[in-house]
Structures are given as structure tokens and as C-alpha cells.
Structure 1
Amino acid sequence: MKNRSFNFVLAATVLAGSILFNACKSNESKTTADSTNTASDTTKSPSGLTLPAGFNAAIIAENLGGTRHIAVSPQGDIFIKLGKPKDGKGVLVLHENNGKADVKNSFGDYEGTGTYIKNGYLYTSSNEDVYRYKLNDKNEVIDATKPETIVKGLINRKQHEAKAIVLDDAGNLYVNIGAYSNSCQIKDREKGSLGQPGCPILDSAGGIWQFKADKLNQTYKDGVRYATGLRNVVGMDWNKQDNQLFVMQHGRDALHDIFPDMFDTKQSANLPAECMYAIKKGDNAGWPYIYYDQYQTKKILAPEYGGDGKKDGDPTNKYISPAAAYPAHLAPNGLLFYTGNQFPEKYKNGAFIAFHGSWNRAPEPQAGYYVVFQPFKDGKPDGKWEVFADGFSGSAANTAKGSAERRPCGLAQGPDGSIYVTDDSKGTIYKISYKK
């Protein structure tokens, strides 16, 4: 009996030491698994969102359609891209007055996601093209009937087709071209099907392409494949602290469904991590050959390419590591670096991430449907992320079932330092402000 007790204590001690060692050797933001980190002091706003104390979320517009990405002019006009046109129009212009925002203009008959204001132009994207509209000195569109086509003919296979966009300060445009596949199998999402050798999808998708922001009618041959090995990126922003592109990748699905002998349903629900990457020209994030396991805190060889859930996916270190990792399947659709002065100092230069919410964590409860905050220091994630705005789904039961009433998608910062959040389910626009 004494020996058994001694062995139990010894085993527990070794296990605790192992956990502590693994936690200490990794960045805290990378070791995050599926626990939800929420600010300790929160309040519920009249809009139904729960926020840290001192913050308030107001609903300034509703029932607009599938509102995707958003941009706000220095004068306070709000430009929104609809996923699908409503009443024949895919771009909305709202003007806010006395706490409400009314549609003052609409144009563009195309579906899509991207919206960005830069150097006197409004840039928008369809699922195949990128356009721009000239703005006047009040940042109003001069002629909505005559957009210039900046990029055309990007691949759209009706899977991960959203073309998110961002611009830098050096005259470059960056476009996500999502992979039209889950894991580059010979037969997509089919049980036991292996990966295509060399993954030909990566020639025209599965990465970030760079184009000139002011050159018309560019095609693939005019652009540069800036980064590859990214399954699908919808949330993108430019980090001005270190002058670098950051992106949020949607991780792969269906580990158990495709390889039930290697992964159980719980592993499939909780793997792989949704990853934030800091991107430089020429980077390769490793899709489809690897995925990032937030529990083992390492890159794992994908089962389609010979992995078993444990094999090291990057023994020669040719793929970049994530800057931070988050729970699986939460679908990060918006990324915003906060540069305003309205919020408390802890938020300055940190990142807000809009998690659209999961559909494929069963039999585990679904999760997400919130906006989180990731602290940054010197241009890098620093410390644990926390849920910043929750309650979009309507209730905890809605979240668990994946039946969210609203799903956050786009993020933008207003001229006064407030942030705006879109919902692409009911077309609700939230304005989040802070008051001491």
C-alpha cells in the first residue's frame, strides 16, 4: 500500500513538473488551448453585449444585410461591404448622427468582403476582383458608377472565396486568396484520401498576393505571391509598430471524419489552433503539410502527408511559427490593431480579433461568436488574450448549439477612438466606446 501511494505521488509530481516546464518554455499566448479568458470586471450594455467595465456597446444600425468588412473615414462616414448585394447594392455608406447611422448611399452590384480607405480612395473587393473609388476632400465617393479595377480574375471556386484586403504605406495592396480545399486531398474532405503531391492549389491560392495599389487591371502575372501556406485568411491588418502584415488563419477541419483511426471526436473538435501570423515576404506557414497543435505547442505533420497526430511537421524549420494561437474552429474574420487614445492604455497597439464562431466542434459545444483582445508589446503578442465583447449569439445555449443570433465579422476604428463591429447574420453594426 505504501509503495502504491509513493508511486502515485511520484507520478503526480512528475506530471506537474512536466506541465510547468511546457508552460514556461512557450509564450503564454501560444499555449492557449480552449479555456475562455474573460476580463474579471464586466458589465452588460443595453445592446446585449458584455464588455469590460467602463465600456459600452451601442447598436447604431440594424438589418443591413450580411455586413462583412468595414472602414470609417476621418469625417465619420462608415463604408461597409455586404457579402451579397441587398436590393442590388453591395457597398453601403452610412452616416452617424445622434447615436444612429443611416444609409446615405449604396452602390456596387457585386458580392464580397474587403473594404479599405487609403490615400484618397475607397478600395473594395468582390470574390474575384479588387476595385477602387476616388474620394473627395471630405472622403466621399465622387462617382460610384465608375470604379477602377485594380486586380481582376482571381480564382473563385466557391470555397474560401472571400478576398480580404489591406494596404501598407508603401503603395502596396495585399489580397487573401483562400485555398479552395480543406487540406489539399486528392478527394476533398473524403475519408482516408491522401494529400495531393506538391499541392498544386498553392500556385494560385492558399496565400497572400501583393499588387500595386495604383496600377489598373492587374492579374496574377502582375502580382507577387507574398506569402504561402495559408489555408484561408479573412482577418488582416497592418501593424504600424513594426511595419508588418498580420493575418488570422482559419485552421483545417475534420481530423476525425477523415482519419478516425488517428483522431477521436474530441481531438477533432479542439484541433488545430486558429493562428495569428506575422508575415514577411517569402514566408511559408505550412498549409496543407502541417497544422499547429496548441496543446503540444508545435507544428504537426498533417495526416494527409504521413502524420499521425504526433510527428514533427517541421524538423528543418522551414515554416514560420504562429505569433499567437487560439482555440480551434472559431473562424477569425476580423483583425484590428488599436491606435486610438480613447481606450485605456493597455489597449494601445494591441489587437482586436472578431471570431465569427464555430460550426464543427461537435460533439463538444460550439464556441466563439465574440471579439477578443490580444495584448501586444513592441509589435509582438505579449500575454494572454481575453474575451472583450461577448453576447453576440444571444445566449450561452445559442453558442453551444451554434445557433448564434449574430456573428461578429468586421472591425474598424473610428476617428474618436471608438471601434465598430459588424455582424453578417442580421446586419447589425455596434459602436463600442469607453468612458472613464
Structure 2
Amino acid sequence: MAKFLQKTAKLKISFGYCILVIFLASACKEESKDKNEAPSLKISADNAGLTLPEGFGALKVADSLGKPRHIAVNSNGGIYVKLRELVDGEGILYLEDNDGDGIAETKQGFADYGGTGIALDDNYLYASSDEEIFRYKLDESQKVIDKDAPENIVTGLVAGGSHATKSFTLDGKGNLYVNIGAYSNACQEEDRKKGSPAMMPCPILDSAGGIWQFKIDKMKQSYNNGVHYATGLRNVVGLDWNKSNDHLFVAQHGRDMLHTLFPDLYDTETSAILPAETLYMLKEGDDAGWPYIYYDQIQQKKILAPEYGGDGKKTGGENAIDPVIAFPGHLAPNAVLFYTGNMFPEKYKNGAFIAFRGSWNRAPEPQAGYMVAFVPFENGKPTGDWEVFADGFSGSDNIKSPNDAKHRPTGLAQGPDGSLYVSDDAGGTIFRIVYSKK
């Protein structure tokens, strides 16, 4: 009996010791877990100065970067930023958040050219200068392997005195679509000069004022290797491939100076809001009508341009396509992104975000833009009118000149978690917008 009690005591001690070991191991594990957990995102108390819908928050990922234009976010949350102008001899930045708080601690630069366009697929980073498009091989973590040895896939593109930047997008099927902006306002013999006659037909359209399609895996392509995909587009800085309906969508900058060039036909107020900035769905062979027409969002008609005999009422462009959405004039759409993430509420799924940089051609009326708008889509078609999604970038409600704006949205990208990133080339800022309402 004594031996039995002795054995039982030993078992109790052993069992108690095991429980103690398990408890201590669990506690150590929890402590270790707490130490290794990434901190929560540093959402700004004032949403980085932005006005957002309920449930959304924002923070600044980076600031004072120069003049960021388009951006791309890789599968690990690293951000590639295309700079319009070189900073310390570098035209592309790579930003990385090392501790999970949403703020980039790592900044690396490369590429000796400025520009606007940048995009990613599984294997390459693509970036543009004003005349060429390059690609850089990526490793498994979607980081550039050799920053000093890009492949040149497109070259020899026209870059006139205005609208020179080459923004582009990919369709995921081996094709690249590049905007070649028209180096003209309305195809006059002397650009932007009152009384100068228009050229008919417009000779610029043979190599600019449209979209060209190229292959992503062929080197040194130029006009003779590409497809003239669409024409009649004055300047398209924002474009994206809509995967839900398998079509290209582009946002056009409308023409300027209606009052300045034709004061008898347009007053300053009318000239400030016309013509519309337009979002088009394109298929191969489409013509949007520039310079012969513009779209009037008030009359909801294609109007014959005054340089070609229009008076503000005559319609034209019977064979030109209609926009899917029309915005007020001179807002300057600079980026388009179809949202495919799961973070935002269902209404945003497959809808279009559009970044407006703000223009100069509303004077003497107040300037406008400096926002990110949203257009709901379903089955590849808009299901409602546009709305302001993110506002407050300008820092003021009374902007007389674009130079007065604190921030000017220029690029959009979607993060792997569904966050929306917005770049700005006035303050050099990258914003991140998240949804956190439960």
C-alpha cells in the first residue's frame, strides 16, 4: 500500500511538472508570437488629409519622392514608382515596408530615364520613357534581377512638344497597349493660335493621337511592327484592361481653349466645363473622333469642333464611338484602375477608379479635379453615374492654379491585400487607402 501511494505521488508530481512545462511553453509561444506580430497599419487620424467614404482610412506610405506618376505593387507589397523626372539620376523607385506598419522604410532607385508608364506581370517589370518601353526580369519575389540591363521592347515612338508621355497597360495575353498622345490641341496649322486653320485630314493621326498594340516578348518594335489599335484620341494618360469583359478602357484629356480661340462661340464659364473628359471602351479599329469632334456632356452629344466648322451645336462624328462615361471638362484623368480586390465593399468590385490630376484650362473660373472618382461596373458596363471617392488632395477648395494644389493624383495601383494606392506628383506622395469597417 505504501509503495502504491509512493508511485501515485510520483505520478502526480510528474503530471504537474508536465502541465507546468506545457503552460510555460504556451506562454513563451504567445510571448514570441506577440513579439513577432507585425504592427497594425499606421492609419492617419485625419486620413492623411483625405476625405473618404465611411469605413475607409488612409496613410502616407512615402513622401517627397519627386514627381511620381504611375505605380505598380508586387505580390509582396513592394511598390514600383515611375518618376516623371529623374531624381539623383534615377527614374524608377522601389519602396518596401519592412515592419508591416504601411510606411516604406526601404527606397532603392534605378533607370536613367523619366516617364510615366509602369506595369508588372509575373515575370517582368515594364516601364516607359517618352520614346521607348523597357522590361526588367523579376525573381520569384517580383524584384528586379538586374536593374542595369533592361530589354528594349518598343522604340522610336513620337514625342512632340506636348503630350509626350507614354502610358500603357497589359492585357495578360501577351499584348501591350501604349498611348501616343497628339502633340497638338486641335490639329491647327499653328497650334493654339487664334485664327490658325485646322488641317484636314489631320496628319498627326498617322503616328500619334491613338493607341498602338505591341507584343511584350519582342525586342525593338516600332510602328511597323505594331498594330494601330484605335485612333481619334487626343491624349490618354490613364488606361487599364478590364478583365471582366476583356476590353481596353481609356480616359481621354479633352481639348483646351474653346473661349480663347473662339470667344464669339464660348464664354469663359462654358469653356471651363467643356468639352467632357471621357472614358471609352475600345476595340481594335475604333475611332473616338479627335480632332474633328468633342463630346458635350451637357447636351450628351458629339459636337463638331469649331476648327472644322462647328458652332457649339452642330453634331458630327457619326462613325465615332460614344464614351461610356463623361466627366466635366479639364479635370485631367491620369490613371484608370479596375478594382478586383476583396478588401473593399462589394459595390467596388470590378468598378473603375479614376485619378484626376487637375488641369489649368478652367481659368478664370476656379480649377477642379484633384480627386479619385469611382464608376460602378457590372459585366463590364457602368451601372451608375460617377462619384467622388477620395477628395482633399489639393488642400484647399479654392485653387486658382494647379501650382496651388498640395497633391495632384497621378497613379493608381491595387495591393495584394486589396488596398488602393494613389501617387501624387505635386507633393511626391504615395497614399494607401484601406477599408476597415466591420
Greater CA deviation, 399-408 or 75-84?
399-408
What residue is the counterpart of 2:136 in the other structure?
Answer: 133
Could you tell me how far 1:365 is from its partner in structure 2?
A: 1.2
Q: Distance in 2 between the 1:418 and 1:140 partners? A: 20
What residue is the counterpart of 2:204 in the other structure?
Answer: 201
What residue is the counterpart of 1:375 in the other structure?
Answer: 376
What residue is the counterpart of 2:295 in the other structure?
Answer: 292
- Residues 171-223 of structure 1: CA distance to partner in whole angstroms, max 9, x if unpaired? 11110000000000111101122210110000000000000111001111101
What residue is the counterpart of 2:118 in the other structure?
Answer: 115
Cα contact 2:420–2:432 (8 A) shared by 1: yes
**1:89 aligned onto 2:90:** yes
What letter is aligned with 1:266? E
Q: CA RMSD in A?
A: 1.2
What letter is aligned with 1:331? A
Q: Distance in 1 between the 2:389 and 2:266 partners? A: 32
Could you tell me how far 1:313 is from its partner in structure 2?
A: 1.0
What residue is the counterpart of 1:223 in the other structure?
Answer: 226
**1:410 aligned onto 2:378:** no
Could you tell me how far 1:263 is from its partner in structure 2?
A: 1.2
Could you tell me how far 1:158 is from its partner in structure 2?
A: 2.5
Could you tell me how far 1:104 is from its partner in structure 2?
A: 3.6
Task: Give runs of aligned pairs for residues 158-307 of structure 1, distance below 5 A.
Answer: 158-307=161-310
Could you tell me how far 1:119 is from its partner in structure 2?
A: 3.4
TM-score normalised by L of structure 2: 0.88
Secondary structure of 2:205's counterpart equals: helix
Cα contact 1:45–1:51 (8 A) shared by 2: no
- Residues 391-417 of structure 1: CA distance to partner in whole angstroms, max 9, x if unpaired? 1111112x3554101100000000000
What residue is the counterpart of 1:20 in the other structure?
Answer: none
What residue is the counterpart of 2:344 in the other structure?
Answer: 343
Q: Distance in 2 between the 1:218 and 1:103 partners? A: 35
TM-score normalised by L of structure 1: 0.88
What residue is the counterpart of 2:361 in the other structure?
Answer: 360
What residue is the counterpart of 1:19 in the other structure?
Answer: none
Cα contact 2:73–2:80 (8 A) shared by 1: yes
Cα contact 1:95–1:104 (8 A) shared by 2: yes
Cα contact 2:363–2:400 (8 A) shared by 1: no
Secondary structure of 2:76's counterpart equals: coil
- Residues 114-171 of structure 1: CA distance to partner in whole angstroms, max 9, x if unpaired? 0000130000000000000000111010000000000001011120011001011221
What residue is the counterpart of 1:39 in the other structure?
Answer: none
Cα contact 2:67–2:424 (8 A) shared by 1: yes
**1:151 aligned onto 2:150:** no
Aligned residue pairs total 391
What letter is aligned with 2:333? P
- Residues 375-432 of structure 1: CA distance to partner in whole angstroms, max 9, x if unpaired? 11210111121111111111112x3554101100000000000010000112101000
What residue is the counterpart of 1:66 in the other structure?
Answer: 67
Task: Give runs of aligned pairs for residues 35-46 of structure 1, distance below 5 A.
Answer: 45-46=46-47
Q: Distance in 2 between the 1:199 and 1:401 partners? A: 31
Provide structure 1 residue ranges, at least 5 long, that are not aligned to the other structure: 1-42
Could you tell me how far 1:46 is from its partner in structure 2?
A: 3.6
What letter is aligned with 1:162? T
Q: Distance in 1 between the 2:400 and 2:391 partners? A: 14
Could you tell me how far 1:347 is from its partner in structure 2?
A: 0.3
Q: Percent identity, please.
A: 62
Q: Distance in 2 between the 1:50 and 1:380 partners? A: 27
Provide structure 2 residue ranges, at least 5 long, that are not aligned to the other structure: 1-43
Cα contact 1:44–1:50 (8 A) shared by 2: no
What letter is aligned with 1:113? T
Query: In terms of Rg, which structure is larger?
Result: 2
Q: Distance in 2 between the 1:392 and 1:47 partners? A: 9
Q: Distance in 2 between the 1:169 and 1:157 partners? A: 30
Q: Distance in 2 between the 1:293 and 1:367 partners? A: 18
Cα contact 2:325–2:385 (8 A) shared by 1: no
